Structure 1
Amino acid sequence: MEFNKALLIHHHHSGKANRENTVGLVAGVLAPAVRECVIVRTDEPGEGEKLCRERGELFDVVFILGGDGTVHECVNGLADLQHPPLIGILPGGTCNDFARSLGISPDAETAAQEMLAGRVVSIDVGRANDRVFTNFFGIGLISDASQNINENLKGALGKLSYFISTLQTISHTEPFRYQIEADGKEMEGEAVMIYAANGRFLGTNALPFAPNALQDGELDVLIIHETGIPLLREILSHKPEGDWQPQSESISYFKASTLKVKTDAPMSADTDGELYMKTPAELSVLTGHLKFLTGEGY
């Protein structure tokens, strides 16, 4: 595949070391297939979103070199465009979960080679209130773990820092009351986590959702009613061979295209690893809304 004009965005503080070397490597791979490539480094929060919103339609393709947070920011700038460009993700973060859902190699240089193979797929995007997300929306344990991540450990230990934070958070997580309306059906109860997924990976681990989860027009919703390592093990170790039905009564699972989530008190919500939203929240799916270049594994 060849492109007339491409934008390559990379975030100064995102993910792995030797970012400048990585930018040079991926730019070298892309160069023979791109007539004009504009490379922009973002430094401040919101800069990538603003850039994509204001200039995204000027390009045939936008390549995002970074992790899930950088992807989240840029997609929020691209999702509302009338004529959004193709999107190519070049993994450069800690977990790169949405890139994994797209079957993209975790190595940025290899991923750049895969982008040129021209596998284009229309992908669902989740919406939470006035924002969009690619991978997930979550409250409770997942947002608590995100808040508790030690940034120094994140830089030194990478994805292991997420697991350390989760283990530390499990023993301190208190249940909360929730009210949910899913496709018009109302339910309520107590939970320690509510997780609505568009993607299929969390913390580099595959989730037990169908292979077409990014194209089915629905969110995979998990309600975890109590904490415990065995519950996490069931979720993260199961590989779907059809519709997944959890074995534990402490896990509720269903699919929905719309979801209204209320809690007794406002709770911080995690969207793609970013914490800036609180409940209540109204979720929906923008079916096939954006076109992504996918990897060999999709």
Structure 2
Amino acid sequence: MAKSDASNRLPNVSAMQLKVCTDNENDWVEFIELCAISFQESAPFVRSHPDPVKRKAFLMKYIKHHYETELSNGRAGLACVKMQNAFGREEIIYGSCCQYGHGKRTESDQGPMRELDAIGWEKNEMEDEWLELQIHSKMPYIAEFLNVNIMHGVYHATLEEYKGKGIAKHYTVPAITVIFADGTRRGILDGAKPTIIYGVIDDYRALGLQKLAGYDEIYHFHNTHDKNYIKCINDSKEVNQNEGFNCVFLTCRELGGNTPDLINKFKKVFLMKSHI
């Protein structure tokens, strides 16, 4: 076997455990730290926080803020793959977080982020507001119209030393599936309804992985930070580097029911809602 093949081989799966970690605050803390480290070279954050020192500190506070305002208190599910490290401690080597439905943000202190990087924080806020207006806010309407559950696949992250070994490809769908099952057990999701999982990809490197995990690309948008402007570029796929948000992919995966039929309905309703 070639060396490159060996380096990309999935580690011993029997030593890994996929667990629902939604109720474990310590796991959330570890997962937030994992995401903050994993997203250091993510294009949107490199763009908004070019200084790597500021970016490292900012991301930790930013993801913690996101957790506190939108994901905590049972609003999202967390599933993690755990494995013992060299010191005998069980650690998260991969984690997936899905938000159940979509609700309003709760208040949280923004001061620490502003103090770290005020300009970068404002850029992130503009991008978050654009995503809320153009994508997330439409989901409750679509869920009601199609009579489905909708979950948002928020974060997927892999421990640095396990990247490139097929961990995320292997576990993304199982992690989402156990989060879905746990959501139905808790009565948050209606188990009698199909469930649509969607994600927003704002970094080209993540697109291939999500497609391998079974997601379908639905729309490709450019954003100029003008709330009244949205440009669908499904046909040309051109990237204007002068725009504030170079690429957003709305993707979708469905649990239960007839996948192609429901995905097509989702596309049509999203497009209809986008032009109201």
TM-score normalized with structure 2 length: 0.27
Compare relative contact order (CA 8 Å, sep 6+) and give the higher one, 1 or 2.
1
Higher strand share: 1
